[in-house]
Amino acid sequence: MTASNQAMPLWAWAAPVGAAAVLVAAFVVAATPALMIVAAFALIAGVFAAVHHAEVVAHRVGEPYGTLVLALAVTVIEVALIVSVMIAGGPDKAGLARDTVFAAVMIICNGLVGLCLLSGGVRHFEQGFQLQGALAALAVLAALTTLSLVLPNFATSLPGPVFSNAQLVFAGVASLVLYVSFVFVQTVRHRDYFLPENADLEDHAPPPSKGVALGSLGLLVLSLVGVVGLAKALTPTIEAGVAFVGAPKAVVGIAIAALVLLPEGLSALRAARANRLQTSMNLALGSALASIGLTIPAVAVASLLLDKPLALGLAGKETVLLGLTLLLSVITLGTGRTTVLQGIVHLVVFAAFLFFAFVP
């Protein structure tokens, strides 16, 4: 991590405060194009601030807890945004959670992993990581995606890609159990599976003091509040833009997922270029697991309590892409060593995902 006991840079506290101020303005005054542009810049600044403060906290608590902090922070953004849109929307938002979660998995497992493997391979030729940790994460990811996004298409209690209330409760509980079990293994029982192979050989900057870490924790929370609120305020603009270009509604989910995954994406890419691929894999795979393991229970509760429709089952094309992604991840990450080739393959699949999202 890049944190130290040095004084906090001006932008690191100004960005969260500015994002919060713009958020207040967005809810007080009428939305105008100028305000939306300012909100977009404030949101991006809030994202970078969230990355910085999450890394400060992460450097204080160490690996793999550090990557877990950022994964949970980003997932909080995603869950809050999806639930808030569900509350404000109608039946046309029934598939938003599915589209966003699926997009998050594809962005992470193909786009982000591909970029990390490619950029790290170009600079360092070959990189390694702990095979046991990657395979454990992929096993949980396969179970989560199948139970949450594929099984609804084959359940017969209700027609269509939806669960009955009882089935939805089971899916939410199962997702939460799987994710909590993974976190327990990652942080307690088999923590060594998720530590860098050369951890003892790496040079680390001194960790930040307790006071600095607590200050960053507070600013991290403020950054997340600003990002969540501004993303919600910008959602109608995103939806209007998608409708204007004539793209399918599922593209809204891709835009939301890309927005909330930006903090982790930047951190994972930076780690890969610094030859810390284990940290990149912890961030990427941990984020994919959190995206499903925490989002599905949250939207299930919102759907049941608010009586909002929730469609989770993927269509045939998306199911094929998901199956290809899981198979490819097991093959490319199944040796513990990676080169540019694996990165290129993942990026080609990601390009296919984007192409068929716009040209279904």
Q: Confirm if 138 and 285 have CB atoms less than 8 A apart.
A: yes
pLDDT at 90: 65
The encoded tokens of residue 18 equal 């500015």
For the stretch 144-184, pLDDT in tens is 999 989 999 888 787 778 888 899 899 999 999 998 898 88
- Contacts of residue 125, Cβ cutoff 8 Å, sequence gap at least 6: 339
For the stretch 72-84, pLDDT in tens is 777 777 777 777 7
For the stretch 56-69, pLDDT in tens is 887 777 666 666 77
Q: Which of 334, 244, 326 is nearest to 289 (CA)?
A: 326
Is the backbone peptide bond immediately before 64 cis, with ω within 30 degrees of 0?
yes
Could you tell me the residue range of the domain that residue 156 belongs to?
10-358
Is 187 part of any domain? Answer: yes
Give the domain CATH number at 69: 1.20.1420.30
- Contacts of residue 321, Cβ cutoff 8 Å, sequence gap at least 6: 106, 349, 352, 353, 356
Report the percent of the chain where pLDDT is more than 70: 90
User: How does DSSP assign 276-339, residue by residue?
Assistant: -HHHHHHHHHHHHHHHHHTHHHHHHHHHHHHT-----PPPHHHHHHHHHHHHHHHHHSTTSEE-
Is 67 part of any domain? Answer: yes
Is 1 part of any domain? Answer: no
For the cut 80, the answer to whether the pLDDT of residue 113 exceeds it is: yes
Q: Which of 251, 321, 248 is nearest to 99 (CA)?
A: 251
Residue 127 and residue 113: Cα distance in Å, rounded? 13
For the cut 80, the answer to whether the pLDDT of residue 87 exceeds it is: no
Is 5 part of any domain? Answer: no
The encoded tokens of residue 40 equal 């977009």
Is 3 part of any domain? Answer: no
Count the domains in the chain: 1
For the cut 90, the answer to whether the pLDDT of residue 349 exceeds it is: yes
For the chain, the distance separating the N- and C-terminal CA atoms, rounded to the nearest angstrom, is: 41
Average pLDDT over all residues of the chain: 80
pLDDT at 197: 64
- Contacts made by residues 181-189, CB under 8 angstroms, sequence distance 24+: 181/140, 182/136, 182/137, 182/140, 182/289, 182/293, 183/68, 185/136, 186/64, 186/68, 186/133, 186/136, 186/286, 187/64, 187/65, 187/68
Q: Which residue has the higher pLDDT, 22 or 259?
A: 22
pLDDT at 260: 73
Is 142 part of any domain? Answer: yes
- Categorize the per-residue pLDDT at 2 as very low, low, confident or very high, splitting at 50, 70 and 90: very low
Q: What DSSP element (H or E) covers 44?
A: helix 33-61
Is 4 part of any domain? Answer: no
Q: What DSSP element (H or E) covers 128?
A: strand 127-128
pLDDT at 5: 47
**Which of 126-135, 167-176, 259-268 tops mean pLDDT?**
167-176
